[in-house]
Amino acid sequence: MKVFGAAAAAACLVALPAMAQQLAPSPTLDAVKARGNIECGVHLGLPGFSYANDKGEWSGLDVDYCRSLAAAVLGDATKVKYTPTSVQQRWPVLQSGQVDVLARNTTITFSRNATLGVDFQGINFYEGQTFVVRTKAKVAAVKDLGDATICVAAGSTEEKTAADWFRERNLKVTIINFQKNDDAISAYDQGRCDAYTAGIGALAGQRIKFKDPAEHQILTEIISNDPQGPVTRWGDERWQLIVRWVLNAQIAAEALGVTSKNVDEMKAKSTSAEVRRLLGVEGKFGEMMGLSNDWAYTIVKQVGNYGESYERTVGMASPLKLPRGRNELWTKGGLLYTPPFQ
């Protein structure tokens, strides 16, 4: 009997280190590696966030997230297959496993989290809802829109936010729900509605689609908080971990001053322990997730940090010219904040 006990204990001791090397299984990660690309659900076409040019090349803030994920997981930011989805399609596409991640201007809400079987892995854009109106309508604030007709995309958070906002203030408005953003925009442009409502970032991009952008004015008043970020389906916690920390790495790189230009130098010379851990010089953080240790280095090298990506896609270097505002690092008065790489 004693011999058996000792043998069992010995077996356990031998088995323990082997088990510590074992990672929780991740069917999504295995599938991505086998397939050789990331399937990323994006917007049908929203300048600044996900937009394909006439050559079919995608660009935008959400697209940059997809590219970062591909850089981290596959070592190549170009290994992304984009699946453009409408407001309605995005959930079934994610739930059924057609896409690995959804990066599609999707607002985090309680009921989505509780009933759709999806999880939100962080915030890559703090959006706020507002309205675009014709300049000649002389609207200064949202409350001036009482009695107005408003075009909106059906099934978006904007549909409900607008309905609630006017109802709470006892203002009567007519809300017309279109199945696609583009239909709502062209109906507004045709004069079916007095206003079109969407997030302020989305409007900055969509304004380009109007026949005469100068005739329209985006109100500065914001009536909602719409935090948006990458979404995954329930289950596969290790894939969720990767999705979450790829976003954190983009933001942390900016906070730590690592850019696509100085990343090689930082990797070789930086004395900051956190930079060294982020770039995979110390700590073997990539291995803990089942990735290579230079995962974050590859992101910054190939895509850039969050700030670079923001300026290029929606910021001052882009046609949208959105100021950083709330999407600035916490050290500079914004809301972007990451847990430490420790």
Partner 1 sequence: MIRFLRDRKVRDVLWQAAATVAMVAVVWFFVQNASDNMVKAGIASGFRFLWRDSGIEVPFNLTGYKPSDTILALLWTGIVNTLLVSAASIAVATLIGFTVGLLRLSRNWLLSTLAGFYIEFVRNIPLLFFVLFWYFGVLATLPAPRESLSFLDVAFLNRRGLYVPTPDDVTGFRLALLATLILIALQIGLARWARSRQARTGRDFPTWLVGFGLCGALPVLAFVAAGALTPWDVPSLRGFNFRGGFTLVPEFVALFMALSTYTAGFIAEVVRGGVLAVRQGQIDAARALGLTQGRVLRLVVIPQAMPVIIPPITSQYLNLIKNSSLGAAIAYPEIVAVFMGSALVSTGQSIEIIAITLGIYLTLSLAVSIFMNWYNARHRLVTR
Binding residues vs partner 1 (CB under 8 A): 87-88, 91-92, 95, 111-112, 114-118, 137, 145-149, 151, 154-156, 159-160, 163-164, 167, 172, 174-179, 183-184, 186-187, 190-192, 194, 233-235
Coil, helix or strand at residue 267: helix
To partner 1, the closest distance from the beta carbon of 172 in angstroms equals: 8
To partner 1, the closest distance from the beta carbon of 76 in angstroms equals: 30
Nearer to partner 1, 148 or 299 (CB): 148
- Contact predicate 215/136, CB 8 Å: yes
What tokens appear for 127 in the block? 């959006």
To partner 1, the closest distance from the beta carbon of 90 in angstroms equals: 9
To partner 1, the closest distance from the beta carbon of 86 in angstroms equals: 10
Coil, helix or strand at residue 148: coil
To partner 1, the closest distance from the beta carbon of 264 in angstroms equals: 43
Q: Rounded to the nearest 5°, which phi and psi values hold at 39?
A: -95, 115
Contacts of 305 (CB under 8 A, 6+ apart): 250, 251, 253, 254, 258, 259, 260
To partner 1, the closest distance from the beta carbon of 177 in angstroms equals: 6
Nearer to partner 1, 17 or 191 (CB): 191
Q: Which residue has the tokens 């004015």?
A: 217
65-66-72-74 Cα dihedral, nearest 10 degrees: -170
To partner 1, the closest distance from the beta carbon of 217 in angstroms equals: 15
To partner 1, the closest distance from the beta carbon of 142 in angstroms equals: 13
Taking the mean position of all CA atoms in its chain, how far away is CA 75?
20
- Contact predicate 199/43, CB 8 Å: no
Strand partners, 228: 107, 125
Burial of 28 (0-12, 13-18, 19+ CB in 10 A): buried
Burial of 112 (0-12, 13-18, 19+ CB in 10 A): middle
Strand partners, 336: 329
Nearer to partner 1, 226 or 254 (CB): 226
Nearer to partner 1, 184 or 242 (CB): 184
Nearer to partner 1, 144 or 287 (CB): 144
To partner 1, the closest distance from the beta carbon of 200 in angstroms equals: 22
Nearer to partner 1, 156 or 313 (CB): 156
Cβ neighbours around 138 below 10 Å, total: 9
Nearer to partner 1, 28 or 309 (CB): 28
Cβ neighbours around 319 below 10 Å, total: 11
Nearer to partner 1, 167 or 284 (CB): 167
Task: Mark out the alpha helices in 169-230 (DSSP H runs).
Answer: 181-189, 200-206
Cβ neighbours around 251 below 10 Å, total: 20
Nearer to partner 1, 117 or 213 (CB): 117
Q: How many CA atoms lie within 13 A of 274 on its CB side?
A: 13
